[in-house]
A and B are shown apart, each in its own frame.
Chain A
């Protein structure tokens, strides 16, 4: 018998919307948890309206919400809160990413949740955290990114910062939350007591400064992190070089520098006074870039240049477009890109599941729910409501459903 998925038997009450929270519960759904997504009537998760849409169905929504059940309720009606209270009693985790304070006003802040179910783990995801002077602000990925000092280090020094055209912060925050939730569940398993997790985009973004924070602090401000266009401001050669056709990423850290010199047939550079240390290579970066790019232009194709560097194991990569990455044989072979089939949208590609477990090599068959698709099932089968009571709640607009 194949073993059950890792989180089989665990029930997650999911109040999240947009991206950061749904990324966390997406991973948990892929690991087999039962996710009950609470969507606010009448429209549900706002991402249901995000592009690309076909047959009124959003591929954005489908990507993040496969394998979840949808319960769509009208929070203006007190009876909806009764339903949620009943669900909290039956759930292991409650996760939300409203602006701080909102979930408390709905009646489901941490103190209220633990009173209903002392074993529950609650995870709040927000832009700036539940505490601190910015915590009251609503925020999106790029807002937290700007406050984390991340946006400022991307772009040309004399041009506006450049916007990374994908939501690295939302997804990584969801991943941080999923990691913390797993360990908090392990803690409940050992202690029998739940707890509250406060995860923010700001903290998670800030966590990615591997050099900038400690180097600025430790050097007493002598090293000032700054954007430097196509190249690293503190390490050279490390950056994006012009190849014979397009752009090529090359990194030659301390021990790879002499290897790169040899590959270029320029052993003389190893002893060159301008390039002896990393600091000197940074100071003479323009000369260094010119030498490397001149050498690259000697190749007929980018692929030939990349091959030459790979042969001596200097880290190198072509700068793939999204379209090229989707079609790359490695990405396909590994399931980094994955084809799914939605009941309404049909087949299309989404990023695969980046968590791979040897005991569970097969990916689960999952479908993204229609709005309120599981209203009836959850209330009758899970909470034991009478069919008539459910019908009345539907009739009176406490429960809402729609075919998209």
Chain B
């Protein structure tokens, strides 16, 4: 019989909320894992209240939680902890993104769960990691970005740093966790046993410094990374150029430098000693920006400039707004942007699955759960009777929201 996807048969107990952890388990659900999302009673994952909201349903929640089962528990109650202990024996992976220490206080930390299931792989995701001076701080993406030296690298040189308007650290950290879990599961399949993974936003964001860290340290502090607005601080020409209509990103390194000069009719720069190497081009950046922008103003449109530069193998892109990106034919053909249908919300566009496996070309049909939707199903599988389940619900150990009639 055909398999559904690469993670078919892998069961995940998911204590994550907001974005970093749910991004990881989203990828696991999209690649076939059975994900049981444990939500804290009474309200569940806080993003259930985050915009865009329609019919009482959050687009934010739906995007990150499709294909997961919802089990809503009051984790402070020992009876709920007992449910978690039983589940730990039945799953392959536990993922959580509480502040370090919370899982221990709830009596469901790795030492406890691995006693119950030595083959368990548990992944903790946090802002700063499980140890170190910052470890106990609560944190969000942008907090870790600030500590990772990322925010300081974005903005005008003499102005305030800028706020990047999307959750790059959270999603990247979720993808890092997905990679680590995949290697750990593979290792376990080879007989290596279970283990614990400590993934942090700080580490993952810091990991993105391709030049800054080695450049600063390797040069003994001569190369000082700094934000420099629309253009790169250490490579030229590389940045945002004013086109006829809007802004264009243009990069000309290596052989592309000569191609660009031909396009803009400034082949004289090829032999100009000021532009002999990258360092010279960085030092005389403004002259280059002026020359490139002067040429752009002679073109009919940005689309025309893009066409000419592409023809001459100079990397170029229009700076698309989010709505323009969502409408782009490439993004739609490839399902980089994807329309899904939620039982309560209706149709909704979300980012697609960035992992494409040739054996499993079809996306799975997934639905985001209502709060506590799978309480009874999950507990029954553990051997709880209908009466037990009703008693736990009455005692507030289990919580749920009513399903809409349409579901």
Contacts and interface: CB of A to CB of B under 8 A. Distances in A.
Contact of A357 (B50, B155, B167, B195): B195
Interface in B208-234: 208-219, 221, 223-234
Given A197-B357, A210-B63, A323 B202 contact: no
Nearest to A335: B203
Interface string B169-212: 01110011011111111110110110111111011101111111
B146 A320 contact: yes
Given A211-B166, A219-B52, A186 B209 contact: no
A253 to B, nearest CB: 8
B162 A154 contact: yes
Contact of A51 (B134, B209, B234, B318): B234
Contacts, number: 557
B104 interface: no
Given A179-B175, A183-B6, A358 B209 contact: no
A387 interface: no
A180 interface: yes
Interface stretch (A73-81, A167-175, A376-384, A396-404): A167-175
Interface stretch (B263-271, B331-339, B377-385): B331-339
12 contacts: A146-B248, A193-B359, A203-B353, A208-B172, A214-B350, A215-B51, A219-B52, A239-B163, A315-B143, A326-B213, A329-B133, A333-B133
Contact of B206 (A180, A197, A352): A352
Interface stretch (A58-66, A82-90, A100-108, A264-272): A58-66
Contact of B163 (A191, A219, A230, A330): A230
B175 A176 contact: yes
B152 A166 contact: no
Interface residues of B, number: 157
B209 A166 contact: yes
Given A159-B156, A354-B200, A172 B333 contact: no
Contact of B132 (A187, A196, A219, A334): A334
Contacts of B354: 176, 199-200, 203-204, 206-207
B238 interface: yes
B345 interface: yes
Nearest to B318: A146
Interface residues on A, range: 35 or more
B73 interface: no
Given A142-B251, A211-B166, A213-B349, 15 more contacts: A133-B329, A133-B330, A179-B179, A202-B336, A208-B167, A211-B167, A218-B59, A219-B51, A249-B142, A315-B142, A317-B139, A320-B152, A322-B152, A322-B209, A322-B225
B355 A216 contact: no
B78 interface: no
Contacts of B51: 211, 215, 219, 223, 234
B352 interface: yes
A258 interface: no
B182 to A, nearest CB: 3
Contact of B192 (A200, A202, A359): A359
Interface string A136-163: 0111101111111111111110011111
Contacts of A355: 176, 179-180, 183, 197, 199
Contact of B148 (A162, A210, A251, A325): A325
Contact of B165 (A167, A202, A228, A318): A228
B165 A227 contact: yes
A38 interface: no
B151 A249 contact: yes
Contact of B208 (A167, A191, A221): A167
Contacts of A160: 229-230, 240, 242, 247
B324 interface: yes
Contact of A230 (B59, B160, B350): B160
B217 to A, nearest CB: 4
B262 interface: no
Contact of B218 (A193, A206, A345): A345
A360 B188 CA distance: 13
Contact of B52 (A214, A255, A353, A356): A214
A305 interface: no
Interface in B58-84: 59-60, 62-64
Contact of A199 (B134, B212, B356): B356
A227 B208 CA distance: 22
Contact of A316 (B143, B162, B165): B143
Nearest to B173: A354
A349 B320 contact: no
Interface in B340-374: 345, 348-360
